Amino acid sequence: MATENFLVQGFRAAAVNSGIRGKDRLDLALIVSDKPATVAGVFTTSLVKAAPVLLDMERCKTGKAQAILVNSGIANACTGEEGMRLARLTTAMAADALNIAPELVQVCSTGIIGQQLELACFQRGIPKAAQSLVGDGLADVAQAIMTTDTFRKIAVRTALIDGKPVKLLGMAKGAGMIMPNMATMLSFILTDAKIDHDLLQSVLKKVVAKTFNAITVDGDTSTNDTVLLMANGLAEHPPIAENRPEALAAFAAALEELCKELALLVVRDGEGATKLVTIRVRGAVTEAQADQAARTVANSNLVKTAFFGEDANWGRIIAALGRSGAQFDQSRVDIAFDDVFMVQNGLGQGAEVEARATAVLKKPEFVVTIDLHAGDGSKDIYTCDFSLDYVKINADYRS
């Protein structure tokens, strides 16, 4: 993709090395809107929330933001009052460099839990970033927020609203502590759409439930999960509003596509992942039970290591379903790997079918469809396999 795709009118960005992560890595970034934008955010549901999450939640309520300050390397989580003080102080430093009100600065951190930010890095990095802001700096920000990610995650969509193009650009980071219960660890979405805060918040929340909140790498929800969406209203359409369902639907659809693309990139880059697997549960008693069933399968280490071993091991899948809490009759369960019906009415379909199922598992991407035949509830959860590299990465990396 050419970098001109990574532009949204009215937004500028820069990423710099500030010394948090050695001398070379991009580790501090600013995203700035030329004018105050409508902001919406969804945040981790973990009881243990990082300082920047607490600050952003408070500021998001005002409905307006003009800048996002972000660093990788240190999560500023479990850092007590000093962590809150530093979160506030660094946003004030950014506000100062940008000549805007501190309340308009959102802040995100990702990295090691339990360490304090080093102020010197921000003193060094913030002015440098503020002076380097450019329209096509967003791709660098996507780079700067990576931790164990192996590639940067950035996606764009254009919606047509009242015949006018509206641009959406999003970025995200993974790659571990991923079963977001709000969002992947960090995702920033920028758009020139015109839309008010309450509506933007409500659309974002619905979209996140179906995208970022439907992925899992390791079943662990982070202390720092944050999705921030800034809409600066520079597009030429009349404002998106609840009484204009067509415009709202066009915007929501583009946002959902964007978030889904980013969410799947996070799973694809899950720590050690070699396969992207959709666990599609159908026929559950309720949607909540479908979610429970799909999530239990998607998080089962035994299922995920079988995927890594390219073993069409439906026994582990049905065992996970059995402990999931979802209600069903095991003699009615069907399980398919892509279009290969490996299990019908709770029974395996023999060696020939298994050979075809095994061929599906050799693919880098496939769908496991589970029909419980117990009701109408359905849910897709996106997961990855569980490889030797997951253990290597996490036995060595300090999160």
Binding residues: 147, 173, 184, 271, 394, 399
Site residues for its own copies, 177-196, by CB under 8 A, read 177, 181
Handedness of CA 108, 399, 14, 127 (dihedral sign): positive
Q: Does 390 bind its own copies (CB under 8 A)?
A: yes
Nearer to its own copies, 255 or 303 (CB): 303
User: How far apart, in whole angstroms, are the C-alpha atoms of residue 398 and residue 73?
Assistant: 10
Phi-psi region of 356 (alpha: psi -120 to 50; beta: other; left: phi over 0): alpha
Paired strand residues for 282: 371
Nearer to its own copies, 136 or 220 (CB): 220
Site residues for its own copies, 224-283, by CB under 8 A, read none
- The DSSP annotation for 149-198 comes to -SS-EEEEEEEEETTEEEEEEEEEE-SSSB--SSSSSEEEEEE---B-HH
Question: Taking contact as CB under 8 A, which single stretch among the options 147-155, 187-195, 281-289, 380-388 is the one that binds its own copies?
Answer: 380-388
Nearer to its own copies, 218 or 380 (CB): 218
Phi-psi region of 144 (alpha: psi -120 to 50; beta: other; left: phi over 0): alpha
Nearer to its own copies, 9 or 45 (CB): 45
Angle subtended at Cα 274 by Cα 272 and Cα 275, rounded to the nearest 5 degrees = 130
User: Max alpha carbon distance in the chain (Å)?
Assistant: 69
Handedness of CA 378, 338, 311, 387 (dihedral sign): negative
* Cα atoms in the Cβ-side hemisphere of radius 13 Å centred on 340: 19
Q: Does 315 bind its own copies (CB under 8 A)?
A: yes
Q: Which of 105, 113, 185, 247 binds its own copies (CB under 8 A)?
A: 113
Site residues for its own copies, 131-150, by CB under 8 A, read none
Nearer to its own copies, 154 or 381 (CB): 381
| Three state DSSP letters for 330-367 | HHHCEEEECCEEEEECCEECCHHHHHHHHHHHCCCEEE
Q: Which of 24, 47, 99, 243 binds its own copies (CB under 8 A)?
A: 47
Q: Which of 319, 353, 359, 367 binds its own copies (CB under 8 A)?
A: 319
Annotate each residue in 322-361 with x if it binds its own copies (CB under 8 A) or - if it does not, as one string.
xxx-xxx-xx-----------x-xxxx-------------
Annotated catalytic residue 79:
no
Annotate each residue in 71-90 with x if it binds its own copies (CB under 8 A) or - if it does not, as one string.
----x-xxxx----------
From the list 96, 77, 99, 72, the residue with the least C-alpha distance to 87 is 77
User: How far apart, in whole angstroms, are the C-alpha atoms of residue 112 and residue 153?
Assistant: 21
Nearer to its own copies, 63 or 375 (CB): 375
- The set of residues, in sequence order, having a beta carbon less than 8 Å from that of 4 and lying 6+ positions away, is 136
CB atoms within 10 A of CB 24: 7
Q: Which two tokens stand for residue 296?
A: 């239990």
Q: Does 2 bind its own copies (CB under 8 A)?
A: no
**Smallest distance, its own copies to C-beta of residue 396, A:** 6
Q: Does 362 bind its own copies (CB under 8 A)?
A: no
Which residue ranges are tagged as binding site for substrate?
Answer: 147, 173, 184, 271, 394, 399
Active-site hit among 38, 44, 79, 184: 184
Nearer to its own copies, 134 or 388 (CB): 388
Q: Does 321 bind its own copies (CB under 8 A)?
A: yes
Task: With CB under 8 A as the rule, give the number of residues binding its own copies.
Answer: 65
User: How far apart, in whole angstroms, are the C-alpha atoms of residue 59 and residue 330?
Assistant: 49
Q: Which two tokens stand for residue 278?
A: 């959709």
Q: Does 286 bind its own copies (CB under 8 A)?
A: no
Residues near its own copies, by CB under 8 A: 44-49, 75, 77-80, 112-115, 176-177, 181, 218-223, 299-302, 305-306, 308-309, 311, 313-316, 318-324, 326-328, 330-331, 343, 345-348, 386-388, 390-392, 394-396, 398-399
Positions annotated as catalytic residues are 184
